[in-house]
Amino acid sequence: MPAIIDSLRCPWSLSIVLHTKDDGPVLASEPVMAGDLFPARAEAWMEACLRHGCPDITIESVSMEVSPLRISADSAQASGLRIVATNPVTGKHGSVDVAIEGLRHVAARASRRLVAQGILKEGDTYVYLLNAEKGELAAPAETDGIETSVVHAPLLCPRIELDAVLARAVPYAGAGTAEASGPPWWPLLFTRDAFERAERYARAGEAATPPVETGGMLVGMTCSCPRTGELFLAITDVIEVRDADQREFSLLPSSRSWKSVQAIVRSMRAENPALQLLGQAHGHNWVPAGPPCERCATAAVCARSTCFASLDDGDFMRAVFPRAPWALCGIAGSNVRRDRVWKLYAQRGGVLEPRPFHLIDSFDLAHPPVSITPTHRTSHASNEIAARPVRR
Amino acid sequence: MNDDRDNGTMLADPPASNDRLSFHASDITNSFQLDVTVDRALPVSTVARSLAARLGLPDSTPYALRDAESETYLEEESSIGTALKPGAAVVLTPKAHLG
């Protein structure tokens, strides 16, 4: 088991089972790997620690337990998973329920293999179910000849009174605004300048023929309110993704893209070490398919838009921000009426969901005065994990 | 040139070459930093995949090692020992695209 998940207790062998659409025979059984649960595990850490005034507790020091949400007592089938994290300082729990949709990427992994084997064709549909039986969580085989010592960078969270900041902010009310539903989201603020640039970079590809996807990386701070203990984010800058492979339905950053982004972030952090990459915004700049529907003339809002978080978007967020459950996926698009639409997605239950946010004129650490959270150091002699200052 | 064998002595064999390589790795967001020691003969692709697994990163995404100084990805089928100098820094970069 990788050292990074030694604190995870999962006495279950989990698998995603694919069936033909008409509930026919099993097509494949794909094990749920430890890495598949990491984003949800990070979300449980956020709920147990970061949203309760403990931003300096690392994910590695939080014990967690995974249990299936059973459909029935006598069935191995589950409707999802529950991950419960225990705050090592307060002893309180934070939990995340991952619906089966939150494991869609596991089903997709199996389906890609089935397509490569010729068992399924591109575009074929299937049903996927979650099975949970007593056993162990699958982990990839360790490769001989490799030794690692992992250092986890501390999360720097300026302590800022949230009420004072929200008093200067207004809720975003543009087209695509997400309704506030379900448990309360952690607050999110965008400076107006950063929001304008995020949308400009995302929509830059509209001008191409055919339109292509373009975008930028979001930069800002994770903050902690000293009064409520709540975590909140402030997006203060956006770095355009350049030198990328831009296509009609995809945006692939190149090695030059990443080098440039990282160099800019490094220079930003020289002034403010709390700044970090907090997500991305990109444009689904293609024209929505199909004519307007029969409700077009009377519906107040057109719901048929290109603003949706795709499977590729989810894979990208899991790969680039595995330890950042607060990471944002902004999507600029349009609807069938050709109205411009903007949606911001964040992780909830392991799935990207649209969420509301606020706009603020400015956000800087000079006003009000703040302190940087002290570094939390942990060491695990058995697996050689030790914390030390991040190498710049 | 003296030939030591004329005098009945033999030069000792040179020391066996070091078959391990140590380098540093981090991820895109600088959340992780790793000190890595590997067998030089291992392919770059194997090392990248193994590092990603050890960090609990998603299995569905291919990962590449990018030299932190240059703009280039290391050749996946090269051995890590020929692709990197000791003490080099690389970034574990997901080859993932938005869509």
Interchain contact, A282 vs B36, CB within 8 Å: no
A368: number of Cβ within 10 Å: 10
Cα–Cα distance measured from residue B24 to residue A263, given in angstroms and rounded to the nearest whole number = 17
The residues with which A220 forms a beta bridge, in sequence order, are A235, A276
pLDDT confidence of residue A385: 24
The rounded distance, in Å, linking the Cα atoms of A228 and A162 is 8
Residue A39 preceded by cis peptide, ω within 30: no
Q: Which of B76, B85, B96, B71 is nearest to B24 (CA)?
A: B85
List pLDDT tens digits, range B29-43. 988 888 999 999 999
Give the residue from A289, A184, A209, A198 showing the smallest Cα distance to A235: A198
Distance CA B69, CA B71 (A): 7
Residue of A340, A260, A259 whose CA lies nearest to A302: A340
**B94 to chain A: nearest residue by CA?**
A319
Which CB contacts under 8 angstroms, 24+ apart, belong to B42-45? B42/A143, B42/A145, B42/A146, B42/B79, B42/B80, B43/B76, B43/B77, B43/B78, B43/B79, B43/B80, B44/B74, B44/B75, B44/B76, B44/B77, B44/B78, B44/B79, B44/B80, B44/B83, B45/B76, B45/B77
CB contact under 8 A, B50 and A146: yes
Nearest to B38 among A33, A38, A145 (CB): A145
In what helix (H) or strand (E) does residue B20 lie, and over which residues does it extend? strand B20-27
Amino acid residing at A168: R
**Which two three-digit tokens encode residue B71?**
């703009």
In this structure, what are the phi and psi dihedrals at residue A199, rounded to the nearest 5 degrees?
-70, -40
Which residues of chain A lie closer than 8 angstroms to B59, CB-CB? 33, 35-36, 109, 140
User: Mean pLDDT, consecutive 10-residue segments, chain B of 99 residues?
Assistant: 44 56 92 91 94 81 89 92 94 94
Hey, what are B21's tokens?
Answer: 């390589």
Q: How far apart are CA A190 and CA A281, in angstroms?
A: 12
The b/e string for A341-367 (b: 16+ C-beta within 10 A; e otherwise) is bbbbbbbbbbbbbbbbbbbbeebebee
> Strands B32-39, A231-240: parallel, antiparallel or unpaired by DSSP?
unpaired
A145, A148, A310 member nearest B34 (Cβ)? A148
What is the β-pairing status of strands B89-94 and B20-27?
parallel
The answer to whether the Cβ–Cβ distance between B50 and A312 falls below 8 Å is no
pLDDT for A366 equals 62
Element (H, E) at A199: helix A192-203
Which residues does A168 contact at the CB level (< 8 Å), separation at least 6? A360, A361
pLDDT at position B61 is 86
A140 with B59: Cβ contact below 8 A: yes
The neighbour count for residue B27, using CB atoms within 10 Å, is 24
How far apart, in whole angstroms, are the C-alpha atoms of residue A349 and residue A41?
Answer: 10
Taking each helix axis as running N to C, give the angle between helix A311-320 and helix A38-48, from 0 to 180 degrees, rounded to the nearest 10: 70
pTM of the predicted model, to two decimals?
Answer: 0.87
Residue A366 CA: distances (Å) to CA of A75, A136, A158, A371: 57, 50, 11, 10
Q: How many CB pairs (< 8 A) connect A and B? A: 161
Nearest to A315 among B34, B60, B73 (CB): B60
Can you give the pLDDT at residue B17?
A: 45
Pairing label, strands B63-67, B89-94:
antiparallel
| Distance in angstroms (rounded) separating the CA atoms of residues A165 and A360 | 8
**Three-class SS of residue A155?**
coil
Length of chain B: 99
Q: Is A274 in contact with A157 (CB distance < 8 Å)?
A: yes
Spell out which residues of chain B touch residue A312, defining contact as CB-CB under 8 Å: 96-99
Cα–Cα distance for residue pair A249/A283, rounded to 1 Å? 9
Interface of B with A (CB under 8 A): 24, 26, 28-39, 42, 46-47, 49-61, 63-64, 66, 71-73, 91, 93-99
Provide block-wise average pLDDT over 10 residues at a time, chain A (392 residues): 62 94 84 89 95 91 93 85 96 95 92 93 91 88 81 85 95 72 89 97 96 97 96 97 96 94 93 93 88 73 83 93 94 89 93 94 66 36 25 29
